[in-house]
Amino acid sequence: MTTATMPLPPGGPVPNADPSLEPIRAKVLAGERLTLAEGEMLYSTPDIWTVCELAQLVRERLHPGVAYYNINRHMNYSNVCALSCKFCEFYRKKGDDGAYTRDIDYIRNQALQAIETGATEMHIVGGLHPYLPWDYYPDMMRTIRDAAPKLHIKAFTAVEVVHLAKIAKQYKRTDRKAGIRAVLTELKQAGLGSIPGGGAEVFDDRVHDAAFKGKIRSDEWLDVHLVAHELGLNSNATILYGHIDQRRERLVHMEILRRAQDQALARLGYAGVEYHDPEAENIAATQGLDRRAITLTGEGARLPTPDMAEREAGYFQTIIPLPFIPDGSEMEHLPGPVGLENLRTLAVARLMLDNFPHVKAFWIMQTLPMAQLMLQNGADDIDGTVVWYDITKVGGSTTHQETTVADLQKAIRDAGYEPVERDTLYRRVTREGKNWRTGE
Ligand code: V47
């Protein structure tokens, strides 16, 4: 039988076509919020291509024809950590082989090297160091700002910020936000520009207790981001999936994040609509989050812009789904998610997180070929040149994990998009060599 005479598979030309997704399609087209039950359908349907098509529809509406990358450099000031999370390959105990803590000269040098390559951003995270004094952290910010005033400093995951509030002796159990506000205010004055999305893992107590006991829970992670937003700092969010979590728990995580973003957008003047999802009401109530839904995915919706953050009202910019990388961790026996599960989770995140402007396929963890595929299935950003990455090493890679601008641009062009260099706040960058500016 030739291909031309072969019968079509059951259900027509789309493999596993699922007509029960049509009501979801209608809601996506109308820019309406999907319920948790609809999220479960997106995860359980065999028709993954319709899920991807819908995510792509949203992505195209928000960012037609373009995909973003940046020139950045990741730096870890120390891998010494008081915690021992089971999914983590990065942490060491003081005195262990390979434990390191960078001094201020090293940090200054990193900043100088970053601007030498034209970087616009330095992304800094580290372990919860048990002995470094509080002053080390604002000193680090000032050192970078003085050496490289234009370099945007995106630093400290929420769990680090809570740790800093403790070592700065600002942390009060009775008023957690006050301590967080005190340290973020000082760090911002010293040069901090925004907060990365790490450390969120999966907002679920069962998963927390089994895989990262000792780390802050969802309520404190949210406190840090909500306070950052109140101070006019933008932030990102992650979800670390594909270990002992279940798909339902990922959806609850997304529900909590979008409710927190509803709050940030309400502060920026966005109007919400009444939204009722009986299954989600409890989740919102336990987190004390607003009940009006603000979506950005409808036809003609206006995205928030960085000048809004400068008016003391930050917001979540990007969701970054992080597939669990087992290599070298205590949970190495688990297989980790691959291929279609990664593609589907990214598409589901694009559809459920209807008020997040951007979805990032972080090429270091997804791999560049997969990140490229994701650009056609919901993602609009693939992160940057990175240079040095110590948190995860896919398939035996080392800490030197760098890609060139040419490779990033080629991956984006081959996916059918115009590559747009952005700064951390998603402003377009115009560049001549290592000199750059934003604002056109
Ligand atoms: O906080 C740790 C996660 C995060 C593993 O904000 C792991 O733009 C997978 O947050 N497998 C760090 N994930 C990465 C991160 C990030 C990356 C790129 C951009 C941005 C941004 C944020 O990685 C950690 C933790 O949540 N992580 N171990 C692992 N084995």
CA–CA separation, 281 and 262 (whole Å): 14
Give the mean pLDDT of the chain.
Answer: 93
Closest to 89 in 3D by CA, of 227, 5, 98? 98
Reported as half-sphere exposure (CB side, CA atoms, 13 A), residue 389 has a value of: 18
- Token pair listed for 178: 């006050």
For residues 144 and 386, the model is more confident at 144
Contact 335, 377 (CB under 8 A): no
Closest to 267 in 3D by CA, of 319, 318, 315? 315
pLDDT tops 90 at residue 419:
yes
Widest distance between CA atoms in the chain: 76
The pTM of the full predicted model, rounded to 2 decimals, is 0.95
For ligand 1, atom 6, name the residue with the nearest CA: 196
Q: What pLDDT shows up at residue 210?
A: 92
What is the fold of 20-432? TIM Barrel (3.20.20)
Q: What pLDDT shows up at residue 3?
A: 46
Q: Is the CB of 88 under 6 A from ligand 1?
A: yes
- Token pair listed for 44: 């359980």
Contact 202, 241 (CB under 8 A): yes
| Mean pLDDT value of segment 245-272 | 95
Q: What pLDDT shows up at residue 1?
A: 43
407 phi, psi to nearest 5 deg: -70, -40
Give ∠ CA 163-169-171 in degrees, rounded to 5. Answer: 60
How crowded is residue 217: how many other Cβ atoms within 10 Å of its Cβ?
14
Per DSSP (E only), the strands in 297-365 are 316-323, 358-359
Q: Is the CB of 325 under 6 A from ligand 1?
A: yes
- Residue 325, burial from CB neighbour count under 10 angstroms (0-12, 13-18, 19+): buried
- Token pair listed for 255: 């529900």
| Mean pLDDT value of segment 109-123 | 97
Nearest-atom number in ligand 1 for the CA of 326 is 30
Closest to 69 in 3D by CA, of 318, 253, 273? 318
Q: Is the CB of 89 under 6 A from ligand 1?
A: yes
Nearest-atom number in ligand 1 for the CA of 197 is 6
User: Which pairing describes strands 435-438 and 429-432: parallel, antiparallel, or unpaired?
Assistant: antiparallel
CA–CA separation, 347 and 341 (whole Å): 10
| Mean pLDDT value of segment 259-275 | 93
| Mean pLDDT value of segment 1-28 | 75
Give tens-digit pLDDT for 58-80.
999 999 999 999 999 999 999 99
pLDDT tops 70 at residue 17:
yes
Residue 89: which H helix or E strand, with range?
none
For ligand 1, atom 26, name the residue with the nearest CA: 199
Q: Is the CB of 316 under 6 A from ligand 1?
A: no
Contact 99, 129 (CB under 8 A): no
Nearest-atom number in ligand 1 for the CA of 238 is 10
Q: What pLDDT shows up at residue 312?
A: 72
- Name the β-bridge partners of 322: 240
277 phi, psi to nearest 5 deg: -140, 100
pLDDT tops 60 at residue 283:
yes
CA–CA separation, 75 and 151 (whole Å): 13
Q: What pLDDT shows up at residue 422?
A: 97
pLDDT tops 60 at residue 8:
no
Give tens-digit pLDDT for 342-372.
999 999 999 999 999 999 999 999 999 999 9
For ligand 1, atom 9, name the residue with the nearest CA: 324
pLDDT band at 214 (very low <50, low <70, confident <90, very high): confident
pLDDT band at 306 (very low <50, low <70, confident <90, very high): confident
- Residue 253, burial from CB neighbour count under 10 angstroms (0-12, 13-18, 19+): buried
Q: Is the CB of 201 under 6 A from ligand 1?
A: yes
Q: What pLDDT shows up at residue 6?
A: 58
Nearest-atom number in ligand 1 for the CA of 88 is 28
The Å distance, Cα 26 to ligand 1 centre, comes to: 34
Q: What pLDDT shows up at residue 10?
A: 58
Mutation to probe ligand 1, out of 194, 322, 346 (largest number of atoms < 8 A from CB): 322
Q: Is the CB of 198 under 6 A from ligand 1?
A: yes
